Amino acid sequence: QTAAPAKLSIGSKNFTEAVILGEIGAGLARQAGMEIEHRRQLGGTRILWRALETGAIDAYAEYTGTLAEELLQMPGADRQALRRALAQRGLAMTAPLGFDNTYALGMREQRAQALGIARISDLRAHPRLKLGLSNEFLSRADGWPGLRAAYGLPQQADGLDHDLAYRGLASGAIDVTDLYSTDAEIPHYRLRVLDDDRRYFPAYEAVYLYRADLAQRAPAWVRALEGMAGRIDAATMQRLNARAKLEREKEADIAAEWLGVSAPQA
Ligand code: PBE
């Protein structure tokens, strides 16, 4: 007699896109007839990674650049090398979902134009600009300390919640913040994305990370997650983010509708 399979669990980081991808991942498990709980907004990157390593969660959406630079300390590693390093930890990664969500620095278009700032290196000439950067970015391996050194930037930066940064830009409380390139607010608030002219940031392709033993415990879910390969492009992800952030639709509803129309057929 075999025991009933334990309930599955997917986690998400504390920002909108992560929650939508968590809801989509959970929906795929339910479509495959499995019970799953979505542990929403557990925390930042390291919290999710730790939860996956310990088995507190079975999967979450991550980004290749984050995995390489921040989690595995293998800057520049290709996908195959990442897969090998994950396998040593009992973990696996799906193929890319089809979009990149990179960090970038952004300013209000008007302000950037007035100051003649188009590239990150242009910030060097404006030491008085106020930088408000998301808390995680401030201390990440691929974040502010490295960016500041790579460009020789003179400014200091304050930490803030990413969602509040946009209001700070709009009110003029800050001049520059770190953007996530699929954020719906970038076009909404007419922000200028500064060119990363020293190519500091790596690629951040969205993937699902999952525990390798799911291949035995929940093979249909693994097939469904792998079936997400190439199914969400950047414009689609930005639209889904807009529905949550600008139109205040629930992430679960957005995900359910997306799944109804676009779910990979198992
Ligand atoms: N990112 C950019 C970050 C947040 C925004 C997707 C690379 C991450 O979650 O790793």
CATH at residue 132: 3.40.190.120
Q: Is residue 1 part of a domain?
A: no
Let me know whether 217 and 183 are in one domain. no
Q: Is residue 2 part of a domain?
A: no
Ligand 1 centre distance from Cα of residue 185 (Å): 15
Per-residue pLDDT of the chain (266 residues; tens, 9 = 90+): 455 557 999 999 999 999 999 999 999 999 999 999 999 999 999 999 999 999 999 999 999 999 999 999 999 999 999 999 999 999 999 999 999 999 999 999 999 999 999 999 999 999 999 999 999 999 999 999 999 999 999 999 999 998 889 999 999 999 999 999 999 999 999 999 999 999 999 999 999 999 999 999 999 999 999 999 999 999 999 999 999 999 999 999 999 999 998 866 65
Query: 38 CB less than 6 Å from ligand 1?
Result: no
Let me know whether 132 and 184 are in one domain. yes
How high is the pLDDT of residue 264? 66
Number of domains in the chain: 2
Let me know whether 107 and 189 are in one domain. yes
Tokens of 38: 């979505």
Let me know whether 96 and 228 are in one domain. yes
The domain boundary, picked from 144, 164, 193, lies at 193
- What's the CATH code of the domain at 15? 3.40.190.10
The domain boundary, picked from 174, 193, 212, lies at 193
Q: Would you call 106 exposed, middle or buried from its count of C-beta atoms within 10 A (0-12, 13-18, 19+)?
A: buried
Q: Is residue 198 part of a domain?
A: no
Ligand 1 centre distance from Cα of residue 228 (Å): 19
Tokens of 111: 């302000």
Cα–Cα dist 85/104, whole Å = 27
Residue nearest to atom 5 of ligand 1 (CA): 180
Q: Is residue 228 part of a domain?
A: yes
Q: One-letter amino acid identity for 14?
A: N
The domain boundary, picked from 144, 173, 193, lies at 193
Ligand 1 centre distance from Cα of residue 18 (Å): 9
Cα–Cα dist 228/221, whole Å = 11
Let me know whether 15 and 96 are in one domain. yes
Q: Is residue 185 part of a domain?
A: yes
Q: Name the maximum alpha-carbon separation found in the chain.
A: 72
How high is the pLDDT of residue 1? 45
Q: Is residue 3 part of a domain?
A: no
The three-class DSSP label of residue 219 is helix
Let me know whether 255 and 127 are in one domain. no
Let me know whether 189 and 207 are in one domain. no
Give the HSE-up count for residue 12: Cα atoms under 13 Å, Cβ half-sphere. 21
Cα–Cα dist 208/32, whole Å = 17
Let me know whether 76 and 112 are in one domain. no
Write the CB contacts of 218 (distance below 8 Å, at least 6 apart in sequence).
Answer: 5, 8, 29, 32, 34, 58
Let me know whether 123 and 95 are in one domain. no
Write the CB contacts of 212 (distance below 8 Å, at least 6 apart in sequence).
Answer: 86, 87, 90, 91, 92
Query: 66 CB less than 6 Å from ligand 1?
Result: yes
Let me know whether 121 and 152 are in one domain. yes
Q: One-letter amino acid identity for 63?
A: Y
Cα–Cα dist 23/63, whole Å = 17
Domain that holds residue 85: 8-100+203-262
Write the CB contacts of 191 (distance below 8 Å, at least 6 apart in sequence).
Answer: 106, 107, 108, 109, 169, 179, 185
SS3 helix, strand, coil % of the chain, rounded to 5? Answer: 45, 20, 35
Let me know whether 92 and 107 are in one domain. no
Q: Is residue 68 part of a domain?
A: yes
Residue where the block lists tokens 């629930």 = 250
Cα–Cα dist 173/134, whole Å = 14
ipTM over 0.85: yes
Q: One-letter amino acid identity for 95?
A: A
How high is the pLDDT of residue 262? 80
Let me know whether 12 and 73 are in one domain. yes
Q: Is residue 243 part of a domain?
A: yes
